[in-house]
Amino acid sequence: MCYVTVAKVEDIPPGKSQLIQVEGLPLLLVNDRGQFYALQGLCGHQKLPLAKATVWQGLLDCPWHHFQYDIRTGENVYPRCVYPLATLPHLDQQLEPLRTYPVRIVEQHVQVKIQFFELL
């Protein structure tokens, strides 16, 4: 497991996200009010890229069908909190949380902690 430099802080302004690839691994970098987060770069719904996802008060909104995720935990917020799974059982597998990755800032660079096997 190691930290990999993936971007400059100035590349991702507050309220923005950026989809990147690290050795083929899609990651979404998010700057929420100056705090950086890294999540898996594909939405849990249909595994489409989260490029151009919007960020608002701790929530990430997928641009495709507007599933929403807590950027701190990756947990699905919408539609999980709106539709009971008992009424829409086919949604269960699409509501998996997004994987999250530790982030640190070193000398104005964003670094993400990635396990080596994820890059193989």
Q: From the list 27, 45, 95, 103, which residue makes contact with ligand FES (rule: CB under 6 A)?
A: 45
Between residue 49 and residue 78, which ones bind ligand FES under the rule CB under 6 A?
62, 64-67
C-alpha–C-alpha distance, residues 120 and 107, integer Å: 28
Tokens standing for residue 70: 């807590």
Are 48 and 64 spatial neighbours (Cβ–Cβ below 8 Å)?
yes
- Least distance (Å) between residue 116 CB and ligand FES: 28
C-alpha–C-alpha distance, residues 52 and 65, integer Å: 12
- Least distance (Å) between residue 67 CB and ligand FES: 4
C-alpha–C-alpha distance, residues 71 and 57, integer Å: 9
Q: 9 or 19: whose CB is closer to ligand FES?
A: 19
Those residues with Cβ within 8 angstroms of residue 105's Cβ, 6 or more apart along the chain or in another chain: 9, 36, 111
The answer to the question of residue 48 lying near ligand FES (CB under 6 A) is yes
Q: 39 or 43: whose CB is closer to ligand FES?
A: 43
Binding site for ligand FES (CB under 6 A): 43, 45-46, 48, 62, 64-67
